[in-house]
Structure formats: C-alpha cells, structure tokens
Amino acid sequence: MKALIEGQTGTWEIVIGLEVHAQVSSESKLFSGASTAFGAKPNTQVSLVDAAMPGMLPVINQHCVRQAIKTGLGINATVNLKSVFDRKNYFYPDLPQGYQISQYKQPIIGEGMLTIVSEDGEKEIGIERIHLEQDAGKSMHDQHPSKSFIDLNRSGVALMEIVSKPDMRSAGEAAAYIRKLRSIMRYLGTCDGNMQEGSLRCDVNVSVRKIGEELGTRCEIKNVNSIRFVQQAIDYESRRQVELLETGASIDQETRLFDASTGQTRSMRSKEEAHDYRYFPDPDLLPLEFSQNYVDEIKAELPELPDHKRDRFIAEFGLSAEDADTLVEEKATAEFYEELSNGRDKKLAANWVITELFGALNKSGIGLRESKVDAHNLGSLIDLISDGTISGRIAKDVFSEIFESGDSAGSIVERKGLRQISDSGQLTDLVDGVLSENQDKVTEFREGKDKLFGFFVGQVMKRSQGQANPKLVNDLLKEKLAGRSLDK
C-alpha cells in the first residue's frame, strides 16, 4: 500500500527519489590502471593518477564506458552519443585532487524507465540520468583514538550514479526499485550489487506533502548501504518531517545521515546546490563521443533481462506471475531453475526451488552458490517423485539429507530403503489391516462421517512408514470403504 501518514492537520504523502551509486564491474579504475579488487590492504591499489600527483593525466577506461551503455540500454534509457566529464569541486580529506571527475549537464545516459512490482502491483519509475564518475577514498576514524587515516584504494574507482525521478511513494516501492535495478545490473554484469562491500550505495531523497500539493522541501540521506536501512530511513525521516510541519515549523533542505543502531536520521550539513560545486568541463579530458553503430553492437550482445525472462516463464512454462517474479530476480536462480526444469514438469520444479530450496537456504543463512544442492541432484530427486519411486513426503526427507551432505538422491533412497510401495498386494494388506482394526470408524464413515477418510489414509501411511504410494492408497480405500465387506 502507498505510505500515507495521517496527521492532525490531514493526510500526508511521502515523495521519494533515489540516487544509486553502483560500482562498475571492472578490473581497473575509471581513469587509471590500478586494481579494483575488494579487500586489499589499505593504499596498495593506488596509482599516481589516483593519488593526484602533479602532472598525472587521466585516461578513460573504455570498458567502463561500455558498462554504462549496457546499463542504460537495460533500463530502456537514451544513450547520449556525446557526453562531457566535469570537475565537481569540493574539499574532503579522502579526495586528493580537491575535485571529483564526474558528469553534470551532459551525462552518458539520459532518461529511462524501470517497471517495479510492489504491494500495489506494477508501477513505472522514471530515471532521470546515469552519469559516470570516480569514487573518493575512505576516511577511517576507528583505528586510533585521536587520529583519522586515509585509504585511497577506492579513489578513482568507476561509479555509475543512477538518478531516479521522484516517483516513489513508499519505502516498499523504494525497496522494489533497488532490487529491480540491482537485478538488471547483475544480469548485465555491469555491477555485482554487493551492498555489504560498498559496491551499491544509495542517497535517499525524502519529502512530504499534502496530497495534490506541490513538492515539499527534501532532505537527502547519504550513503545508505542496505535495502532494509533504506526502508527504515524513509519511515523515520517522513515521520520526522510530518511532525515538524504539523507544529508549524519548516523543513531545512539538508544532508542527513542514517544511524543503523537507532534507526534514526540526523543532520550532517546543509544541502549543497549545484553552483556550490563550481562545475566546469575537465580540461584534461576530451568530450566522450561514439557512434550509434557502437551502441547497436553493444545492444546486440545484451542477455535476456528479468522482465523478458519473467514473461517467457509465464507464457511458456505456465508459471504464476508471483513464482516467475521470484525465480527471475537473481540471475543465478533463473539459470538454476532453467537447468533444473529442462525436460521436467515446470511447475513441480518451480515449487521445489521456491518452497524447499529457498526455505533451506534462508534457514541456513547461505546463498545458492554456497549450497551443496545443484540442479543435477535436485533434478534427480524430482525424477524419483515423477516416476513413483518415492512419495512427496519421503522426498522432503531425502532433500534434507542432500542439503546437508550433497549426496545424490538415488544413493540416499537406496541406502535408507525409502522406495515407495506401489505393489497392489502389499498395499491391500496394509489397507485391510487398518480397516479391520478400526471397524467402528468404518461404520461411522459409511454413515456419513466423510472426514474420517483422512484418518484412514494417515494410518496406512503410518504403517508403511510413509512409503506407501498415496494415490494407490486413496484408490484402494475408496474401493474398500464403498463396499459392505472387508474382504480382499
């Protein structure tokens, strides 16, 4: 549902825009050949360009340009054949140049659009632009009680800043937008989306207004590094603004920080305007120009993206929209499902991935790549269900062992003697035994107490230790209970 805040003076609407800073998947930086590998020791991946040594000139990384174009194409955006790099001037200890090389009036990517799915259904979110820029270094304040240290390993790392229009109206929509954007970039291979490593961060712009009124004064919450924190920051900040406005106070346009330990935002500094940065074209970099043929070549290499894959899963595999959305969100999951479902019942395969596999992964706190379950051994388990070798209930026990040990389904079934009993003679003996021991309930059933049928099924399954074929048990019970005799 849309997040509306009921106040003493009426109903308030939340207006949200996001600036997502996505680290470009590239082995080297935007303007130097220094490595971008995560986890290196401080200041071990710094070129003379990154450290702003005198006379060192930036050289554009063509791979990063291609990655930005791919991302633009992935969100149906305009690719600008000419763009300009600018100097964004400000002082910060971890910015050795005293300016950031970014793009301002002429970015590499223009307007685009994302379709998200939230509690209210589908919604289109406009994207204002994507521009390329270099990251700053990192200030570390917890290494010494009275000193700060600077790590320049991230200085010069290529970022795509993806700026949305203020089209989101709830924390849920913002979360759906980030997930969708991250999913597309992971499919494209342009950003790994690992927020815990800092390769995807958000600046969250929040304002409130009475419905139908002009946009209110916004506050920007900087560098939020998880989707959950984005939602918490929006919820807190919107309530804070409403409470101020309800008392007759005004909202200061400012930059704020989110404190994850308290779930609150706090003031950081007054919000800068564009003129505060004194943007001007970088004199060391020529305008970036390429042809439409270059863009078309990149477009021809794009993989199938989540929306197209989702539509195909629904149309060709008969999946529900909800199941298809779940399966395509992560590229690895979609690939796993397609390999698993090849030649098998598509809906049964989807149920096993979404219910059993995802449930086990969530419970254990690991990802699909770390799991011992692969498409081959899960597929073998599904085959054993389909050919009647084991029942669905037994299959869940077998799956638990596969998840723990990585053993094949067939070897587990043989080792534990779990093959399903489908022999009519054996099943008839089991059914007759249950009915003979419960003749009073047989009489009640025949007098109209239909719900007892489940009791009989349960007793047969208990006698067989869960190995009786449920369909054959049901058929036999119906046949026996319809008669007047318990003879075979």
> Same domain for 288 and 194?
yes
DSSP string, 293-308: HHHHHHHHTPPPPHHH
- pLDDT in the model for residue 10: 80
The number of distinct structural domains making up the chain is: 3
Residue 94 CB-density burial (10 A; 0-12 exposed, 13-18 middle, 19+ buried): middle
- pLDDT over 90 at 140, yes or no: no
Whether 311 maps to a domain, the answer reads: yes
CB contact at 8 A, 47 and 29: yes
For residue 312, the number of C-alpha atoms closer than 13 Å in the C-beta half-sphere is: 10
**Range name among 189-198, 298-307, 450-459 with the lowest pLDDT average:** 450-459
Residue 226 CB-density burial (10 A; 0-12 exposed, 13-18 middle, 19+ buried): middle
Three-class secondary structure of residue 261 per DSSP: coil
Mean pLDDT (the chain, rounded):
91
> Same domain for 342 and 429?
no
Whether 362 maps to a domain, the answer reads: yes
Specify the CATH number for the domain of residue 444: 1.10.10.410
Whether 67 maps to a domain, the answer reads: yes
- pLDDT over 60 at 422, yes or no: yes
Whether 380 maps to a domain, the answer reads: yes
> Same domain for 357 and 260?
no
pLDDT band at 423 (very low <50, low <70, confident <90, very high): low
Whether 349 maps to a domain, the answer reads: yes
> Same domain for 67 and 137?
yes
Whether 487 maps to a domain, the answer reads: no
Identify the H or E element spanning 101.
strand 99-102
pLDDT band at 271 (very low <50, low <70, confident <90, very high): low
301: Cβ–Cβ under 8 A, 6 or more apart, which residues? none
> Same domain for 272 and 322?
no
> Same domain for 352 and 449?
no
Higher pLDDT, 476 or 241: 241
Pick from 255, 279, 295: which residue ends a domain?
295
Percent of the chain with pLDDT over 70: 97
- pLDDT in the model for residue 272: 66
> Same domain for 410 and 451?
no
State mean pLDDT over 160-174: 97
Residue 374's domain comprises 303-416
Among 92, 104, 88, 484, CA closest to 287? 104
Q: Which tokens in the block code for residue 35?
A: 């490595």
> Same domain for 27 and 137?
yes
> Same domain for 283 and 337?
no
Amino acid found at 242: V
> Same domain for 101 and 26?
yes
> Same domain for 386 and 444?
no
What pTM did the predictor assign? 0.85
Whether 149 maps to a domain, the answer reads: yes
- pLDDT over 70 at 329, yes or no: yes
- pLDDT over 70 at 488, yes or no: no
* Residues 384-408 pLDDT 10s: 988 888 888 889 999 999 999 999 9
Pick from 400, 416, 432: which residue ends a domain?
416
Pick from 295, 330, 351: which residue ends a domain?
295
CA–CA gap between residue 208 and residue 449 (Å, rounded)? 60
H-only helix segments in 75-213: 171-188
> Same domain for 322 and 207?
no
Whether 137 maps to a domain, the answer reads: yes
